Chain A
Amino acid sequence: MILIIILLLPIITGFFLLLLRNPATVRIVALTSAIANLLLTLGLIISVPATTYTISSTHFMGTQFTLGYDGISLIMLLLTNLLFPFIILSGFTRSHVQIPVLNFLILFTQSSLIGVFLAQNAFLFYIFWELTLIPVYFILLLWGGENRRAVTLKFFIYTLTGSLFLLFGIIYLFTLTPGLHTTDFSAFNQLHIPAATQTWLFWILFIAFAIKMPVFPFHTWQPSTYTMASKQGVMILAGVMTKMGIYGALRFLFPIVPQGVLYWQNTVIIMCLTGVVYASVIAFRQTNIKRLIAFSSMAHISLMAAAIFALNYYSLQGLLFQVISHGVTIVALFYLVHLIQERTGTLELPQMGGLKHVAPNMAILLLMVVLGSIALPLTSGFVGEFLIITGLAKQSIWIAVFGGTTMILGAIYMLYAYQRIMLGEPNPNFVKIKDIRALDYFILVPLIAIIFILGVYPQPILNLVEASVTSMQKLLIPANEVISLLTR
C-alpha cells in the first residue's frame, strides 16, 4: 500500500496545485509533497521487507497493475525522491510565470519516474516510461531557452524512436510467453530464448536505453537539449532521467537476453569507452559551461554504461552506488551553473573570470561540487568510480585504462573550467554581483553533505544493493556456461 501512496502522492498533489493561484502557496505545497515522499521512501527502506503490490482486478491481455521493488528499484526510488525536493526548491525564485503548471509538470514527472522504477510488469513499465516524456516535453518547450522549439522536438523524436523499438521488443517477448500470454517481468525472466534470437533482440531492447543514457553514438540529442533546458528541466533530465536508461538495461537485458549480453558485451563496452574519451575531449573544447557539463555528464554516464556490461560484482556495485552519487553531483553542478548564469548573465567561459573576488562563498561551494564530480577521494564519486574501474579491470586491463581516463580528463577540463570562472583578476563587469543567498545554501549544503558523507561512509548504500548485485550475478552463470560450451 505504501508503494501506491509513493506513486500517486506527487501526481495527486500536482492536480491539486492547478487549483491554487498564489505562487508561494503552490511552491510550499509542492515542496511538502516531495519531502513527504522522501520520508516515505526512507521509511520504506528502513522498515518493510521487499514486497510487491498487485491490483489483480485489472488483469487483461496479460497486463497487471503490479508494483514492487528490489535493491535496484530502491536505489532509483531513493535517488528520485531525494532529488525532487531540491528540484522543486530550486524554483523558489522571483519568477511568477505559471508556477502552478510548472510544479504540476514537475510532480507529474516524479510520479511517472517512480512508476518506471516500481513497475513489475513490462507493459506498465513502458507506459510509465513514455509518460515521463510528456511532462518533460512541456517543461522543455515552455520554459526552455534559445532555439527550444527545434531542440525539444528532436529530443522527443529521438527518445521515442528508442521507446518504440522497446515496445516492439516487449510485444515480441509477450508473444513468446507460454499459455495465456503475459508481460510480467517474472514470466519474461523465465523465457529460454534461442541464442540466435537473443543476439538481435538485444539491440531492439538496448537502443531505447542507449538513447536515454545516452551512449555513444546515440548521444546527439543530449548536449543541445541540456544546454537549452531550463534549470529544473536540466536537473530532472541529467539527475534522474539518465538513470532510467541504466535501470532499464539492468531490468531487461540481463534477465531476459543474457546470451545476447554476453555476445555483444565487448562491442557495447567499446562503444561506451569511445563515449568516455570522446565526450571528455569535446568537453575540454567547450566555451559554454552548460555544454561542458553536459558532455562531462555524458562521459560519466558512459563509464557507468560500461560498468553495466563488465558483468562482475564490483562494477555492478560501483554502478549502483554511482547512480546516487552522479545524480546528486550533477544536480548540484547544474544548479550552480544556473546560479552563475543568473548572477553574471552569461554562460560563456571567455567572458568570465575573477568571480571569486565578489562571491567567495560561491567559489568554495562550486569547488566542492567540482571535486565531487572529478571523483576525488573522500567524495562519493571516488567510491563509485573506483569500484567501477576495479570491476572493469577484472574484465580487461585495457578497458580499465580507458575507463580511468574519465577521472583524469575530468579533472583536466573541470579544473580548467573552474579556473576560468572563478580565478584570475577581478572582472570589472562583475563588481556588483551578490554572493549566494540563504535559499542557495538550503539546496547546496545538503547536496554537498551527501557527496561527502557517502564518500566517507558508503556502507548504507552498498548494503542496500548487496542482495540485488548477487542475484544479478547468478543470472549470468547459466548463460556463461552455454557460451563456453559453444566456443569450445
Chain B
Amino acid sequence: MSALILLTVFGILVLYLGFVNNKAILAPVAIVGLVATLVLSVKDWNLGSKYFHDMMIIDNFSIAFNVSMLIITILIFLFGINYYERMEHHVAEQYALMIFALTGAFLMTSFSNLIMLFLGIEILSIPLYILAGGKKSSFRSNEASFKYFLLGSFATTFFLFGIALVYGASATFYLPEIKTFIAQFHGHLPPMLMVGLLFILIGVAFKVAVAPFHFWSPDVYEGSPTLVTAFMATVVKTAGFAAFYRLLGMGLLPLPAPLEKTLWVMTMLSLLVGNLAALRQTNFKRLLAYSAIVHTGFMMLAMLSQHDSSASVLLYYTFVYSLATVPLFIIFIHMKRASQGLEELSIFRGMYKQKPWMAVFMTILLMSLAGLPPTAGFLAKYRVFILSISQGYLAISIFAVLMAVIGIYYYFYVLREAFSESNNPTPLEINKLNAVLIVVCGAAVLLLGIFVWSVPI
C-alpha cells in the first residue's frame, strides 16, 4: 500500500515540478520515485496484505506484476530523457500522467472487488486519452486521442453495465462471493448473470485489445507519440492481462461453457486477424500494433489453459514481450528522425551499413518477438505451448504454432530491410544513453532466454 501512496505522491510532485521550468530534473525525479516504489513493493513480498474491507489484496501475484510494470516504466522514462528533449512545453505532464496511469495499473493488479477494478481501469485510461493526444498540433495525434476516448468510454459503459447486472443477480461486488454464487448453478446461469459476465469480459477484452475488440489499437498506436505507444503496448497490456487473469482466476473460472467458448474464439481470432493484418502493413507502428494483437492471442492461450503455473507464464510472457517492444520503438524513433519523419518499413534500410551493432541488437529483439531460440521470447512461447498442450488443447496449439510461423515472416521482413542497402543514407545519430539502453535490453532478452526460465509468483 505504501508503494501505491508513494507513487501517487511522486506523480503529483512531478506535476508541480513543471513550474520550475527545468526539464532536466523531471526524469531523474520521476525515476527516483519509481525506484523507491519498486523497493517498497518488493518489501511487501509474501505479506499478502488486504485493504479497504478486502477490496484490495496485494499478494505476490500483484507485486510481481507491479514490479514488472515498474521496470518497464523506468525503461520508458530513461528513453524519455532524450525523447522529450525537443519538446518545449508540458513535459512534466507527460511524466506525471504516465505515473498516474501506472497507479491505475496497480489497482488493476490487486483488486478483489469489481468496483476497484473499474476504478483501476478508469485511472489507467483517462491519462492515456490525454497522452495519446500529446502532440497537440498533430492531426493524427488528435485523432488517435479522440478515437481512443470514444471507443474507450464505450467499452467502459459495457463494463459498468456488466458489473451492474452481475450485482443485480448476485448482490455483491466481491469476486470470491461472486465465485461461490456462480458455483451454485453448476454451469446453468440465469440470463442476467450470464449477460453481465459477458459484458465484463468484453470491457476487459477491449482494454487488452483482443480481436474482435481490437479495432482501436492500430489507429491509436499509429497516431500517438511513439513513446506513449510504447507505454500502451507494454505497461497497459501487462496491466490489462493481470486484471484479466485475476478476474478469471479469482472469480470466474471455471467459466460456464458458452463464455469459455467465447474466449477461445477470441483467442483464435486474435492470432488470425492480427497475423493476417500484420502481413499487409507497411507502417512500422501499425505492424507492431497488429503483432501486439497476436501476442495477446498467445497470452490468452496461456491464461485459458488453466494451470497453477499460468500466472507465472503470463508474467514471463508479458515482461519479455515488453522488454523487446520498448527498445524496438526507440530504434524506430531514431530511424524516423533520420528519414525526415517517415514511418514506412523501408526507413530501416541501410541500418546495418551505418550502425552494425544496432542491427545486431534489433535482430535479437525481433527474434525474441518472433519466438526464436535462444532468446527469451522463444522460452515464453515454449512455456505457453507446454501449458496448452499439457492441458490437452492440441488442435488449438497446432493452430497457434502455424500462427507463430506467419509472425516470423513479418518480423524477418523488417529485419531484411535493416540488412539491405539504402539508396540515400542519411546519417543515423543516436545518443549514448539510448545506445546503452538498447544494448542492455537486447542483452537482457538474450540472457533471460538462456538463464532465467521462469519467474516466481
Q: Which A residues are within 8 Å of any B CB, using their own CB?
A: 60-61, 126-127, 130-131, 133-134, 137-138, 141-142, 149, 152-153, 156-157, 160-161, 164-165, 167-168, 171-172, 174-175
Contact = CB atoms under 8 A, between A and B. Distances in A.
4 closest cross-chain pairs (CB), A and B: A175-B390, A127-B373, A164-B401, A130-B373
A168 B398 contact: yes
Interface stretch (B1-9, B85-93, B95-103, B402-410): B402-410
Contacts of A133: 372
Nearest to A200: B394
Give the secondary structure class of A's interface: helix
A165 B401 contact: yes
A156 B415 CA distance: 12
A61 B453 contact: yes
B215 interface: no
A131 B397 CA distance: 23
Contacts of A171: 382, 385-386, 389
20 contacts: A60-B454, A61-B383, A61-B454, A127-B373, A127-B374, A130-B378, A131-B374, A134-B367, A134-B372, A138-B419, A141-B416, A142-B419, A149-B420, A153-B409, A161-B405, A164-B401, A164-B402, A168-B401, A171-B382, A171-B386
Contacts of B401: 164-165, 167-168
B412 interface: yes
| Residue with the greatest number of chain A CB neighbours at <10 A, chosen from B374, B378, B389, B420 | B389
A174 B420 contact: no
Given A160-B405, A164-B405, A165-B401, A172 B416 contact: no
A157 B397 contact: no
A266 B412 CA distance: 38
Contacts of A160: 372, 405, 408
B16 interface: no
Contacts of B382: 167, 171
Nearest to A142: B419
Nearest to A152: B416
A95 B416 CA distance: 23
Given A61-B453, A168-B398, A171-B389, A141 B419 contact: yes
A138 B373 CA distance: 16
Contact of A153 (B372, B398, B412): B412
A168 B382 CA distance: 9
Contact of A172 (B373, B389, B454): B389
A174 B397 CA distance: 15
A157 B454 contact: no
Interface residues of B, number: 27
Interface in B165-222: none
A149 B367 CA distance: 18
Given A127-B374, A165-B401, A167-B382, A156 B412 contact: yes
Nearest to B398: A168
Contact of B386 (A141, A142, A161, A174): A174
B389 A168 contact: yes
A148 to B, nearest CB: 10
Contacts of A153: 409, 412-413, 416
Given A130-B372, A175-B389, 6 more contacts: A149-B420, A152-B416, A153-B409, A157-B408, A160-B372, A168-B398
Give the secondary structure class of B's interface: helix
Interface in B396-439: 397-398, 401-402, 404-405, 408-409, 412-413, 416, 419-420
A156 B408 contact: yes
A131 B389 contact: no
Contacts of B378: 130
Contacts of A168: 385, 389, 397-398, 401
Given A61-B454, A167-B385, A168-B401, A149 B373 contact: no
A236 B270 CA distance: 39
Contacts of A60: 453-454
A126 B404 CA distance: 16
Nearest to B379: A61
A87 to B, nearest CB: 22
Contacts of B398: 165, 168
A160 B409 CA distance: 10
A485 B390 CA distance: 32
A60 B382 CA distance: 13
Contacts of B383: 61
Contacts of B389: 168, 171-172, 175
A126 B389 CA distance: 17
B408 to A, nearest CB: 5
A172 B394 contact: yes
B405 A157 contact: yes
Nearest to B309: A61
Contacts of A152: 416
B397 to A, nearest CB: 6
A199 B409 CA distance: 30
| Residue with the greatest number of chain A CB neighbours at <10 A, chosen from B382, B397, B402, B453 | B382
A175 B390 CA distance: 6
B73 to A, nearest CB: 29
B394 A131 contact: no
A172 B391 CA distance: 11
Interface in B332-388: 367, 372-374, 378, 382-383, 385-386
Nearest to B374: A127
Contacts of A149: 416, 420
A133 B367 CA distance: 12
A298 to B, nearest CB: 23
Contacts of A175: 386, 389-390
A125 B385 CA distance: 17
Given A134-B367, A153-B416, A171-B382, A164 B404 contact: yes
Nearest to A149: B416
Contacts of A164: 401-402, 404-405
B190 to A, nearest CB: 38
Nearest to B391: A175
A179 to B, nearest CB: 14
Contacts of A131: 373-374
A199 B16 CA distance: 69
A173 to B, nearest CB: 10
| Residue with the greatest number of chain A CB neighbours at <10 A, chosen from B378, B394, B413, B416 | B416
Contacts of A165: 398, 401
A188 to B, nearest CB: 15
Nearest to A165: B401
A168 B419 CA distance: 31
Contacts of A141: 416, 419
Contacts of B402: 161, 164
